[in-house]
Amino acid sequence: MVEEKVVYQRPDALCDVPTHYCPGCTHGVAHRLVAEVIDELGVRGRTIGVSPVGCAVFAYQYFDMDGAEAAHGRAPAMATGIKRVMPDHVVFTYQGDGDLAAIGIAEIIHAATRGENITTIFINNAIYGMTGGQMAPTTLPGQRTTSSPSGRDVELTGYPIRMAELLAGMPGAAYVARQSLHSVKEINRAKRAIATAFKAQLAGLGFSMVELLSSCPTNWKLTPPEALAWVEQVMVPYYPLGEYKVTDEVRALTRKQG
Amino acid sequence: MTIELLKGNVALAEAAIRAGVEAYFGYPITPQTELLEHMAKRMPELGRAFVQAESEVAAINMVYGAACTGVRTMTSSSSPGISLMQEGLSYIAGSEVPAVIVDIMRGGPGLGNIQPSQSDYFQVTRSAGHGDYHPIVLAPASVQEAIDLMTEAFDLADKYRHVVYVVADGLLGQMMEPAELPPMQPLRKERAGWALTGSEGREKRIITSLQLNAPDLEAVNLRLQFKLAEIRKREQRSTEMLTENVRLVVVGYGTAGRIAETAVKRAREDGMKVGLFRPITLWPFPERRLSALADQVDAFLVVEMNAGQMLDDVRLAAGGQVPVSFVGRMGGVVPVPEEIYDKIEEIYVKLPVRVR
């Protein structure tokens, strides 16, 4: 007799539906990590997710929990409204780089400065995905996009913005980290960061954000393996991985809970 | 209950509190700031949510978020701030969640000034942002009416799951009048069946204005239009004074309606058969009653503190049956009764000899 043991299955917090994400895109991995963390914390029934405008616009279709769809960039404001009247609920936003770092930069900075007790999952793939590959605030110097066809010229368009470093400087931020989804090792680290971010919220410690370096093979015009290599070789050097803000309270929390 | 001397903005804020508003989000802008300041003091005292947002854009999206959870929520602003809120208002209307917005109008366009105006009539009645819809718009003419309509605004927002404006000009927001506040309503314990409250023990709920499939979005629009048609049928409100057996009816809302009342009374004293019609709902515009009046009178005169915006709606209601004239001031200039009186007289003497 061989004893069967389930070692891998769909998390309860993810719906059993087909996804619209492109092959090789790491949004699916990010969704799964968030869902696993929510399952492990046992908070699915009291979690409300706020979806962005961008490739993850349908995130609410994939997460099996209450959800709302925000206007472009406004997810942190919307999440603030929800959290202030539902303080016992878990509220998170899931946003891309155009959404969070361009049109919504005021909302995310002020959510962080207020120490808004919400969690933000930030997908940085250095490009506007849904609109077909335009330059994002996170597009790297020299990177070709449909709106920087000769490569991003920093003299004309400025430099890519490092959001984790920026938000870590906000006193209201309890936990800010940047991780990557380009390898199994990094995915495991990313999950630990997401878990810490949600635990910080559950403990009422303030704003938490995890930036995830993510791939966009379609708009980068690379194969999925090439895209993961590009994340590692091109994005990581500009966007160093690690924890940028861990308050003492958050550190105590992770030490206590493992 | 006692009659107190209350400032318009403060009265609006306290009336909202007593109507059970659980969350206020706002940004300072003259001439409505006292409303925000009253909320800043009172809401935390009562254990309710108050956030001074980083912008009107953020404020309305905070309102959107709170509204999704089924609580009574609101913001307040003045004309340029209302311009910034158009995006969020469109999402709120598209998602069909209830929200109340107070607009204490000032002179425009652009930064304009901080003087009283009715420059937002188009902005608040035609739509609020992109898409095919009208918000409900209530226009008080006194501090007491502002209090009464504030309570009603929340009831209408809940009933229709829609955007409801209470619009006044800076004069009404800033002036003090004797008025009576209603008793404090208890906060609702139950949340509506559509609200986001966490999916524990039930299917998940989604609130979105996104429908990628054209027929699906058309279905949403048809539902919205059906709702608006119901509102149009049921919620037209107006008041009138001395409109029986008159030849000319002056039409004005809010402060302009009040100033027109003084002019109409003087014209009556001088023997002119003139009455006053004051819309209370700007949308739905009280077209039924005004059309009925068009059958009975010889002319309408519209008075506004703008270049003639409600004028379009009065013309539509008049349906070409009677001539519609206009008198108004712009840029924060408040008309005096004399100039309205002069216009009444000018029109009145030219009215055709009655044959019917």
ipTM of this complex prediction, to 2 decimal places: 0.96
Portion of chain A with pLDDT greater than 90, in percent: 97
**B285 in Cβ contact with B121 (< 8 Å):** no
Burial of B80 (0-12, 13-18, 19+ CB in 10 A): middle
pLDDT digits (tens, 9 = 90+) for A104-160: 999 999 999 999 999 999 999 999 999 999 999 999 999 999 999 999 999 999 999
Nearest-neighbour CA in chain A from B336: distance (Å): 43
Q: Amino acid letter at B78?
A: S
Domain B3-234: top CATH class: alpha beta
Same fold: B3-234 with B239-350: yes
Which tokens in the block code for residue A157? 């368009």
Return per-residue pLDDT of chain B as tens, 356 residues. Answer: 699 999 999 999 999 999 999 999 999 999 999 999 999 999 999 999 999 999 999 999 999 999 999 999 999 999 999 999 999 999 999 999 999 999 999 999 999 999 999 999 999 999 889 999 999 999 999 999 999 999 999 999 999 999 999 999 999 999 999 999 999 999 998 999 999 999 999 999 999 999 999 999 999 999 999 999 999 999 999 999 999 999 999 999 999 999 999 999 999 999 999 999 999 999 999 999 999 999 999 999 999 999 999 999 999 999 999 999 999 999 999 999 999 999 999 999 999 876 55
Inter-chain CB proximity B64 and A81 less than 8 Å: yes
Cα dihedral sign, B86-B91-B96-B99: negative
| Triad A22, A23, A26: Cα angle to 5° | 80
pLDDT digits (tens, 9 = 90+) for A29-53: 999 999 999 999 999 999 999 999 9
Which residues of chain A neighbour B43 with C-beta distances below 8 Å?
none
pLDDT at B1: 67
Residue A257 predicted with pLDDT over 90? no
The crossing angle, in degrees rounded to 10, of helices B56-68 and B86-95 is 10
Q: How many domains are there within chain A? A: 1
Residue A82 predicted with pLDDT over 90? yes
Q: Is residue A15 part of a domain?
A: no
Bridge partners of B283? B137
**B102 in Cβ contact with B84 (< 8 Å):** no
For chains A and B, count residue pairs whose Cβ atoms are closer than 8 Å: 130
Cβ-based interface (< 8 Å): residues of B facing A? 22-23, 25, 49, 51, 53-55, 57-59, 61-69, 71, 73, 87-88, 91, 95, 196-201, 204-210
Inter-chain CB proximity B204 and A66 less than 8 Å: yes
Q: How many whole angstroms separate alpha carbon B300 and alpha carbon B284?
A: 19
Site from B25, B196, B203 to mutate, A interface, most A CB atoms within 10 angstroms: B196
Name the pairing type of β-strands B3-7 and B163-169: unpaired
Task: Give residue A77's domain range.
Answer: 27-257
pLDDT at B354: 67
Inter-chain CB proximity A81 and B23 less than 8 Å: yes
DSSP string, B216-258: HHHHHHHHHHHHHHHHHHH---EEEES-TT-SEEEE--HHHHH
Select the residue of B67, B69, B210 nearest A69 (Cβ to Cβ).
B210
Q: Which sequence spans correspond to the domains of chain B?
A: 3-234, 239-350
- For chain A, the straight-line distance linking the first and the last C-alpha, in angstroms and rounded, comes to 36
User: Would you call the peptide bond into B284 cis, given omega within 30 degrees of 0 as the criterion?
Assistant: yes
pLDDT at B128: 82
Instruction: State the Rg of chain B over Cα.
Output: 21
Domain B239-350 belongs to what architecture? 3-Layer(aba) Sandwich (3.40)
pLDDT at B285: 98
Instruction: State the Rg of chain A over Cα.
Output: 18
Select the residue of B65, B199, B205 nearest A78 (Cβ to Cβ).
B65
Select the residue of B65, B67, B199 nearest A66 (Cβ to Cβ).
B199
Which residues of chain A neighbour B64 with C-beta distances below 8 Å?
70-71, 74, 77-78, 81
Select the residue of A71, A85, A109 nearest B71 (Cβ to Cβ).
A85
pLDDT at B76: 98
**A227 in Cβ contact with A169 (< 8 Å):** no
Q: How many whole angstroms separate alpha carbon A75 and alpha carbon B258?
A: 42
Q: What is the CATH number of the domain that holds A123?
A: 3.40.50.970
Q: Is residue A221 part of a domain?
A: yes
Q: How many whole angstroms separate alpha carbon B74 and alpha carbon A146?
A: 41
User: Would you call the peptide bond into A224 cis, given omega within 30 degrees of 0 as the criterion?
Assistant: no
- Tell me how far CA of residue B260 lies from CA of B267, B280, B306, B345, in angstroms: 10, 15, 14, 13
Which residues of chain B neighbour A107 with C-beta distances below 8 Å?
54, 57-58, 61
**B173 in Cβ contact with B31 (< 8 Å):** yes
Inter-chain CB proximity B54 and A106 less than 8 Å: yes
pLDDT at A115: 98
Q: How many whole angstroms separate alpha carbon B195 and alpha carbon B97?
A: 9
Interface of A with B in 55-74 (CB under 8 A): 57-58, 60-61, 63-71, 74
